[in-house]
Amino acid sequence: MAFTPEQQEAIFTHDKNMVVVAGAGSGKTRVLVERYLALLEAHDDWPLTALVAITFTKEAALEMTNRVHLSLEQRLRDEPDRATRWQDLLAQMDSARIGTIHSLCGDILRANAALIGLDPGFEVMDEVTSAVLLDNIIADVLNDVAHHDPDGLLRLFTEYDERAIRAVLRDSDLLAQDLRAFDTQPAHLFQTWQAQWARSCDDLRLQALRLIDQYAYEPAGDDTLSKAWQVVADTYAVLANPDCGAQVIYDVIGDCCNNMKLPGVPSKKVWGESAASVKEDLRIFRDGLRDVFASVGEMPGLADERAAELLVLWARLISKTAAAYQTAKQRDSLLDFNDLEMRTAYLLKTYPAVRARYVLNEFQHVFVDEFQDTNGPQWDIVQSLTTLDTGGSLFVVGDPKQSIYGFRGADVSVFNDVRDLIAGRECGHEVALSQSFRSHSQLVQTFNSVFRHLLTRDETSAVSRYQVVYDKDMRAFREDMPTQPAFELILLNGQIPNEEGRSTNVPASDRRQWEAYEIGRRLQQMVHAETLIFDKEIGQHRPIRYGDVAILLRGMTHVTLYEDVFKVLGIPYVTLAGRGYYDRQEVWDVLNLLRALYNPADNLSLAAALRSPLFGFSDDMLLALRLVRQDAEARTPTLLWDALAYATESPVMGVDTAESQSLVALTYGVLCDLKAMAGRVSIAELLREALARTGYLAVLQALSPDGPRRRRNVEKLLQIAQESGQIALSDFTAYIDDISSRDLREGEALLDASDAVRLMTVHRSKGLEFPVVVLADAGSSSRGNSTSPLLYDRDMGLACKVTTLEGELYESYPYRQAKTLQIMREDAENRRLFYVAATRAQDYLLVSGHFRAKKEGFSADHWLGMLLEALDMTDCEDGALLPIPGAADCFAYASVREYDHDLPSRLVSDQMTTLSLESDDMLQVPPLLAAVPKQPTAVLDHMNASQLENLLAAVLEEDRYRETYRVNVMADVYDTPKAPVREVVRRHNPRLTGRIIGTIVHEALRYWRLPESTLDMERVLQGYAWQQGITDPRLEAEAVREATDLLHQFMHSDLYQWVAEAKTAGRPVYHELPFIYRMEGRLIHGVIDLVFQRYDGQWCIVDYKTSYVEKPSPEGLAEHARRHFTLQMGAYAQSWLARFDIEPAVYIHYIRYTRDIVIEGQAWRAAIANLEATIHTVLDEVE
């Protein structure tokens, strides 16, 4: 295909520095590769390494490398007279400098390591590895603060929840910031904020005056509308004085916002036929004034003075953590991505000789792809490797309209600035690639119309630098168009009338399920009707297949709703970047095997592995092995691992057939061989051997109906293990946990997706194209309130919340400003994200979402709301054709749907038959898809012991600790993450904590494994230590020693004497006794650590606690038990009393202090009686 004039210019203009603005589908990659080859062709003396191509991802680098390689081979075939040149370049391909900015930085740093005191053998950590290391550093820093705090940093822990502090410190980008400006006196910060507020008020005055000049009318009478405009006139009179003062400005504009009243029906007698438009102008003016007024906020006050004090402490804590993190990296010769950028920029700036080595020397020409996704430090590096004063050394290509990685640090303002910097010089030139080779004319015209309206810049905005303009229309290469509209809207009325005749919203989960159903049915219709799409590979039209469709979502949180409905409809799909990969059963099977290999005492993991297709044990075989007693007098079962060994040598009832005996012998042999390898080879090698020995992949492949998918998922786990490079399972587990808890989500392994709908995020779709694109859930707002106590804004710096006297978190003045800027930048990026999502479509674009029907017309949030505005659409009927403004002969087809109350029940039944267009039979999915009526406290209908502890402590604990327990309750109520369990795995700096020792002892007591009665006590304790991530031999030995000492100490307690005597006398003793008890409509469940009958006939219930207590005196322990465990132990006692009609004695045994604390009957009865009141008290607080 011939080059367009713009492509020709971008490829063959070699004497100027070039900035190329490449619209969606305009052939950017082709231009990049062709220019690369054209430069090599024009400069016979340049080696391949003279060209540096910087890509955004490794995948893009690989694609470009492959394209260059193929093009060189083609030239070798087509140009025999230059064969020597092309052969020479092909031989250099392994050394081609085509890669990410970080790979380039690594090469430069290794080549010049000695200059900046860097070990040239440094290791570059990926995001997950650096996060695990940082977690360890944070734990050490906070532990140091707890024991040694000359800077008063502990005050932060009285203001904020520890988990929130940890979350802030985990931001490695924040640690890389220069916070010296906050190493000052709090009073100075506060004065700076006051001055900023005064300037903001003056800006507010100017904006208000502009709004008044644009919209205001002279009052025309005594009607409501005239009175409102009189308020505006009075406001103008005050604001016209530039010296009126900040507080006066703020007060008068606030009064104006509050006192303007919109009339129900404006008076036509006063305003004539223009009454409605005058009212509308008043509404627009009022809303605009309220927005700018809200952006300023109240004058900094007393709470802000406290915020200034706290910010100084935050800056010190962050700097302390950053210093410790840096020290740890230097000690082990590690660099993260921030280090690569910062050290390279420093090297090139500080050492002119190094820069001279590269600029127009080793590096003759630098390409930067996806330049819109770079940031300031990265541009500094690029600029240091080129010269803007001489043409021909730099080529950047990108599209600011497609800058969507702000959350990764991308800064679209850099593109805008560099664009002006290059194009504004005589040796620079700008080219716009504006012909789309992706979409046909109808869609291209639609995109032009919509995004010309949505992508604009407000020069008066505080974030105008981050806004982009749709400044050049695209034109289509493809003139072929479908006969039906290529742009469809699936509009769901998100409101339903209630019994009182008023409208209520369809619950969000039901609405998304409904939307998935409507999308699925529409896709079925298109496939059934054999709707034509253009196949680029064969160069002609053909009927649509499911594999031609991509459903794009802004996030994958609710993707399972779409998956479940598509299963019902019988639509094949594949999910990319989903959340569910690590929850797949086949992945769990393999991870359970690994856990059992590293800890043979882990009965649960071993049983799960044995029961899985890895080994195929039946339930009867597992039960038989679980009942094995090597010692006839032993009261506890033999470890499952040991039972397997026993069954290979001695007959076991239930494992007595030749087939089962052979299976046991084979399994035990495999496990022993794998156990011998564990810790000596990498996880990947161990996995590979396990899969080979068990034939697991072949078993999965044979499973119906999704065996191939399961097999590929396990192969993907093997790939992840290979990439992690881990040897210790504890490290590998930490690696996977960190991936699954962050935004690095794994999708299921890909099968042949040629005939499967793809479900993916918009970000994942970047650079891809599909015949049919569906933008799902386009009417839901994605903006949420920031829960972080600290924000860092690139313009404002640090800002924090502060706890008021009432215990509420107050957003300080700088926090409000930073959040406002953040929201405005997010809005600008969301518009660009919409552009990226829409322009993935080749033939058809479907946008679905819910709207609200109001008197003045349809309204919606987010993308759908933007779209309705761009189409100037206020309402429409089902099946309407809506003209696209400014696009001749282009229409949008609108489907308007009303909610069907019977849909959930139609999607749930015992009959699982496939839905099709030819059949009325409805395939039903599991009842979890059905709408479940929710009650205010329904989330706590099922409660366990931990929830009971959180509930009680959230009411009774001291104020400084109460918030921790309130947050845990909130986690259950709102399905938000609980406090993360502190990682014990210390890859670079392993540690042994008191909590770990306590947990090990707790585990031993649960199963009554004590030094006097357990033959291989050391091995058992080693297993428990491994469960806590202790794999270092030295620490393991120390853990076993300390745990043994505590267990010996326990054996001198009254509790031990009671239990030992009961066992000797043959009285009942139960360890780990599960219970379920229903009380007032709530189901209380859990496991009681110990129940036994004492020498005096008294039944006793005991729960072990490893808690550290601030005052471990008998009184202090009793008070601690009252505040934390009365409700939990009451549930235990009440369930026992209800079952056996016997009131037990109730004890908390504090392991560390060898103390038994009695929970009196009167106390636990009162706690149980007040359960409902306690629940409502806490829920009222967290709401």
Question: What is the DSSP code string of 303-370?
Answer: HHHHHHHHHHHHHHHHHHHHHHHHHHHHHTTEE-HHHHHHHHHHHHHH-HHHHHHHBTTTBSEEEESS
Nearest to 771 by CA among 534, 479, 440, 526: 534
Strand partners, 883: 891
Q: Binding site annotation covers 28?
A: yes
Nearest to 929 by CA among 555, 557, 563, 513: 513
What value, to the nearest 5°, has the Cα angle with vertex 833 and ends 832 and 839? 90
Within 10 angstroms of residue 929's Cβ, the number of other Cβ atoms is: 21
Nearest to 1045 by CA among 959, 1154, 965: 1154
Distance CA 150, CA 152 (A): 6
> E strands of 727-796, at which residues?
757-761, 770-775, 790-793
Q: Give the strand pairing for 1069-1079 and 1082-1093.
A: antiparallel
Q: Binding site annotation covers 264?
A: no
Residue with tokens 């930073």: 818
Distance CA 328, CA 988 (A): 8
Q: Binding site annotation covers 865?
A: no
Q: Give the strand pairing for 880-883 and 942-943.
A: unpaired
Residue with tokens 């043994």: 1044
By the 10 Å C-beta count (0-12 exposed, 13-18 middle, 19+ buried), 949 is classed as buried
What SS3 state is found at 1149?
strand
User: In Å, what is the CA distance from 1070 to each residue of 202, 208, 679, 1157?
Assistant: 74, 75, 36, 20
Q: Binding site annotation covers 26?
A: yes
Distance CA 507, CA 509 (A): 6
Task: Tell whether omega for the bond before 705 is within 30 degrees of 0, i.e. cis.
Answer: yes
Dihedral sign from CA coordinates of 1118, 1120, 1123, 1126: negative
Q: Binding site annotation covers 27?
A: yes
Distance CA 1148, CA 1127 (A): 12
Distance CA 768, CA 761 (A): 12
Per-residue tokens: 1012: 């006097």
Q: What is the CA radius of gyration of the chain?
A: 34
Per the CB < 8 A criterion, the answer to whether 1091 and 1078 are in contact is no
Per-residue tokens: 94: 């392994």
Per-residue tokens: 57: 């991802």
Q: Binding site annotation covers 740?
A: no
Within 10 angstroms of residue 1005's Cβ, the number of other Cβ atoms is: 24
Task: Write phi, then psi, for 1104 (nearest 5 degrees).
Answer: -80, 140
User: In Å, what is the CA distance from 276 to each residue of 193, 230, 260, 281, 289?
Assistant: 43, 18, 16, 9, 20
Per-residue tokens: 114: 């000695």
Per-residue tokens: 436: 């789309």
Per-residue tokens: 1100: 């006793």
Q: Give the list of residues 6+ apart from residue 359 with CB closer than 8 angstroms, or none.
A: 384, 385, 386, 387, 393
End-to-end Cα distance, the chain: 62
Query: Could you tell me if residue 1175 is left (phi over 0), alpha (psi between -120 and 50 degrees) or otherwise beta?
Result: alpha
Residues flagged as binding site for ATP: 22-29
Residues flagged as binding site: 22-29
